[in-house]
Structure 1
Amino acid sequence: MPPAGRPLYVAADVHGHRSELREVLRTAGLVDHAGEWSGGEARLWLLGDYVDRGPDGIGVLDDIRRLAVGAAATGGHVGALLGNHETQLLAAHRFGTEPVAGWDEPGGFRGGWARFGGREADLRRLTPQHVAWIMGLPAVLVVDRHLLVHSDTARYLEFGSSVAAINAAVSVALASTDSALWLDFCERMSDRGGFRDAEPARSDDPVATMLRTLGADLIVHGHSTLTKHFGVAPQDVSAAVRYADGRVLAIDGGVYEGGRILLTRLN
């Protein structure tokens, strides 16, 4: 893990909007006009959902992988978390249309993936290298006391009670060939809304539990768009939304719903 103290940025839910991501990074000085890393020692974490819904999910994966190499060469860091759309893409790739026990979705995982915005071009262009990269992504991370996750849910704690344990369990799930296990895994990764009614005074407050268990002061997530889930009009999306008594930060600007990709500096 790179040392703290340097600029720390986050963005989430690019959903195949490759040119939009490049533009927000260029505006912030993190990439140059050719899309190559120019952020020096800055750190950038992307919080999942790179594929589906938009025109070029595989291109987004390629850009992130390339930027990670470029940033490392100058003392910076580009990292990525696993999102629910990456898990759904892998499920469609691994199981195709075969029936899944306990699930009546037409077309199995491939049918479900398509219904939730899967793009055939992403599946067609997915290579073994892309699959291996996705399978190596962590699900949760704590950086400078910020708990970075894709989804606004406490169900990550069902995988374990530490960052290392959660990521190890997710890695095991990603390697499984059991479609029933994958169905449960995808459901956990897709859960949302777990922090909206959180109250610090409650003994079962999920935000306090997440922060205390994983050792952080602020939860930062994507997944639930500001446009649909927080009532921000697409044209008014300009900054992340802090809620749950200031303990949670939502950063998904809803680019595929007419909003934008939000690049948020955390320090």
Structure 2
Amino acid sequence: MTVDQTPLFVVADVHGHRAELRDALHGAGLTDADGRWSGADARLWLLGDYVDRGPDGIGVIDDVRRLAGQAASAGGEVQALLGNHEVQLLAAHLLGTTTVPGWPQQDGFRGAWARFGGREDDLRRLGDEHISWIVSRPAMAVVDGYLLVHSDTTRYREFGDSVAAVNAGIAAALTSRDAAGWLAFCQLISDRGAFRDSEPASPDDAVATMLDTYGGEVLVHGHSTLTKHFGVAPGDVREALRYADGRVLAIDGGVYEGGRVLLTRLDEPRPSAAT
């Protein structure tokens, strides 16, 4: 196994807060004053939820796509995972007000998307290039010993027992036009809270199950905000939160709840793992 010595940064749940992401990247030296990549060979992974809740989700996607090209030209890397809000936005776009028997949402997928923070401007500006980008996003990766996912759930296992199988299974789900299947998919990828009560001694420890199945030594996730789900006051959000005996790192700073876009450097070099 090789050890990658280049800087590795992660950030999650920008939720349309384009200016805040730009400020965070510039403050870390990854971009210049004009928003262009200046991070040389650094690596940046975004863990999903670019859209909804904030003022310019499509602009965030455009910035990430642009930075990926600039970073690659400079010898760096910008990669982006799929979040549940991208799935919900696609469901609203593809299925509109379609309902599913037994589902009480009378205005269908579009109504559910709006209820969870969907912004009409994101839906209106969603173009073919954005859809192509979203459906090509992986759902998980292992980088330098970190298992990167969007949601703090074990339900990724329903798609397979390897990173490649999960990514292939979710990619296939995104091609479906079956309304019941989309509803189940949205619910699965929106699940949360699986790791907060995990104890290493437990035979069904959720964290160990994920790490043993997919690889890595530490699981890194967004999705569940430090502000609402971990009880950190918005003004006190300063750094990512380690929990579950140090095996999990929560990085959603709850920017739309008054927190911040929490760009986090994973400083300690760790062995790379195949994905």
TM-score by length of 1: 0.98
Query: Structure 1 residue runs of 4+, over 6 Å off?
Result: none
Q: How does 1:202-213 map to 2 (within 5 A)?
A: 202-213=202-213
Shift of 1:38: 0.5
- In 1, are the aligned partners of 2:98 and 2:179 still within 8 Å (CA)? no
Q: How does 1:136-147 map to 2 (within 5 A)?
A: 136-147=136-147
Question: What's the RMSD between the two structures over aligned residues?
Answer: 1.0
Instruction: State how far apart, in whole Å, the 2-side matches of 1:179 and 1:203 are.
Output: 37
1:129-181 CA distance string (max 9 Å, x none): 10010000000100001000000011111110000000000000000011111
- Which residue of structure 1 lines up, in the alignment, with residue 178 of structure 2? 178
Query: What one-letter code is carried by the residue in structure 2 that aligns with 1:210?
Result: M
Shift of 1:104: 1.6
Instruction: Report 1 or 2 for greater relative contact order, CA contacts < 8 Å, sequence distance ≥ 6.
Output: 2
- In 2, are the aligned partners of 1:153 and 1:194 still within 8 Å (CA)? yes
Gaps of 5+ in 1: none
Instruction: State how far apart, in whole Å, the 2-side matches of 1:188 and 1:157 are.
Output: 10
Query: What one-letter code is carried by the residue in structure 1 that aligns with 2:144?
Result: D
Q: How does 1:20-99 map to 2 (within 5 A)?
A: 20-99=20-99
1:74-115 CA distance string (max 9 Å, x none): 000000000000000000000001222331202100000000
Shift of 1:223: 0.3
Q: How does 1:96-245 map to 2 (within 5 A)?
A: 96-245=96-245
- In 2, are the aligned partners of 1:106 and 1:112 still within 8 Å (CA)? no
Q: Which secondary structure does the structure 2 equivalent of 1:44 belong to?
A: strand
| Count of residue pairs brought into register by the alignment | 266
Instruction: State how far apart, in whole Å, the 2-side matches of 1:87 and 1:106 are.
Output: 19
- In 2, are the aligned partners of 1:102 and 1:180 still within 8 Å (CA)? no
- In 1, are the aligned partners of 2:195 and 2:244 still within 8 Å (CA)? yes
- In 1, are the aligned partners of 2:47 and 2:148 still within 8 Å (CA)? yes
Query: What one-letter code is carried by the residue in structure 2 that aligns with 1:129?
Result: E
Shift of 1:247: 0.2
